[in-house]
Structure 1
Amino acid sequence: MASRKFYFRSFLIAAVLIIASSFYYLPYYVAKPGMAKELEPIIEVEGGDDASGSFMLTTVRMGRANIYSYIAAKVSKYQELYPENAIKSENESDEEYNVRQLHMMDHSKNSAIKVAYEKAGKPISFEYLGVYVLNTLEGMPAYGKLKPGDQITKVDQIDIKSAKQFMDYVGNKKPGEKVELTFKRDSTTKRVTLPLQSFQADQKRAGIGISLDDDKKPITEPAVKVNTEQIGGPSAGLMFTLEIYNQLTEGDMTKGYQIAGTGTMSETGEVGPIGGIQQKIVAAAQSGAQIFFAPNEKGNKNSNYRQALVTAKDIKTDMKIVPVDTLEDALTYLRSLKQIK
């Protein structure tokens, strides 16, 4: 009886230690293959045609490492470990990191819409909504008063339309002077008055201690909706652009193929490199993609495209890896495809 109690206590203690240790996080992040997600249900251009195939964005599952996920990543070929400082900025909170990722996704969507509409010869303009708080600097007046995601619309009752306008206005003031900010948080309008303070790194400059960016929305004809929910980061830019362009124009660029890919999209139509290309190749192959667009980086020997080729060969997929530097590169390749019957 005593031995049974001993074993039960030992088992209970071990179980508690295992559970407790799973909540102890190491200063690393683990990247795993995510999914390839069809874009047609996510993007809706008013009056757009359905496609016989599909364009898909690819994702990477990223999470903080505990001891078990760290060990798993060490022994798994297509899981990758990143030091925390390679993922997050110095002193950046989890909330600030998530807000930054979602804001980069908004940038990605706006660039994709702009490039696709201009390429299709359709009208597009932008309405500026204010400036978007990305993070606040500890020890400065805005810390604890403003939060990542706040949208500043006015300073001293002056409508603010851009980050440059905000910085020019505040930059003309001296330490100790005050500014009244009107901002939106979760659809609620708030006001706060903050003193300006000198920056430690530059005593001649004064501010409230925020990093910010423009907050704007596209005005298009026809209308377009992009619902990315909680997907963050800029890497879906190319695939957003292709899906929007396909819905805007006559014909079907997919030709019946399942087409995945990745890459940022600049406002001039250039495709930029991303992280996690190996995990995205695995995710696309597992989802049945037949073609994958990868950033070529102008032929760089360590480009996303080169890494994608190595991974595709290693996992023995028949998926065609296509190098692209621009949107036009992708469109040229798609025009060369024959329709699947």
Structure 2
Amino acid sequence: MKKIFFLAAILSVTQIFAQKNLIRNGGFELDADSWRGENVLNINPYTKRTGEKGGSIYEYTSPQWKGIDQEFNIPKNTPAIEVSAWVKADAIEKGKNNWNKAVIILEMNGKTENIAELEGTTNWQLVKKIIPTENNRSGRLMLALSECTGSFFFDDIKITPISKEDYDKIIDEDIKKKEAISLQNIQNQNPTAPAEIFANGNFENGTSSWRGAVNLSNTVKKEGNNALILSSTSKDWVGVDQLFSVPADAKSVTISGWLKSDNIVQGENVWNNGLLNVEFSSDGKTKTANDESIAFVTGTKDWQEYSKTFNLSKDTQKLRIMIALGFATGTLYADDIKVTFNK
């Protein structure tokens, strides 16, 4: 009996993460049911994405906030949610401010996240965004004309919980894709052959052994004469890397380094920050394990040492150390990077 109950519990959790839409009546087939602001919600049987009906909000004369919203609960052990909707705009004229458009906004614990902003006239388009829950158990979704005029159409509104396993996969795939692009860009800028040993982790020899946007600071540093400085005003990948060999008898590796941040603002995803990462491969291209983070940093923080130890598989013959502003803005300093192989 216990086995049957345990199996049922697993199936229940799986169904929650695989199927459940936390928004009720997201297709407006039940008219305004479950939505607040029904006095401004128009149910449209002609302009819809699927089903028999869709939702819309109109304003033609007086720019004002006209919106609907719905509160929702988040299941336990949900690290992130995906918000998605089909939207269409018709003659939306932006108001005085840049955010005065047709909008979809998610609110959790007093913090807001823009899911969509539309102006002008558009065809139907799918908008979606993955948002970390940060342990919040409830939220509110708003659809509105934010002090602007025009017609805002929407349908198939969904908020889907994401399991930890799936969320980890999403983060890993996103990082892999962006790192692949950035490493190719670095290779094109400054191709070098992989070194046998890790070198110049304190940047005292200038740009030696490192590829990429190697800029040095001789004023802000942890020790010695130089430190690495990476700075960006746009959410691009700005970074350096070093590829080197793993000794045949190494069983694990300890990687450490000192980082300092100055007004680093997170990019679109929670992992788009200042970072110190390591890549494991057999030849510099074929990965033997998932990339690992030694540190993610945001905001403004003084020098701090970070260190982690990783086991090495038998197939791992190359390591790549990456230091970057990973699609974030601000300034990152790095110094005294060390790699120690353990037998």
**TM-score > 0.5 by shorter chain:** no
TM interval, short-chain normalised: under 0.3
Judging by fraction of residues, say which structure has more helix: 1
Answer 1 or 2: higher relative contact order, Cα 8 Å, separation at least 6. Answer: 1
| TM-score when normalising by structure 2 | 0.26
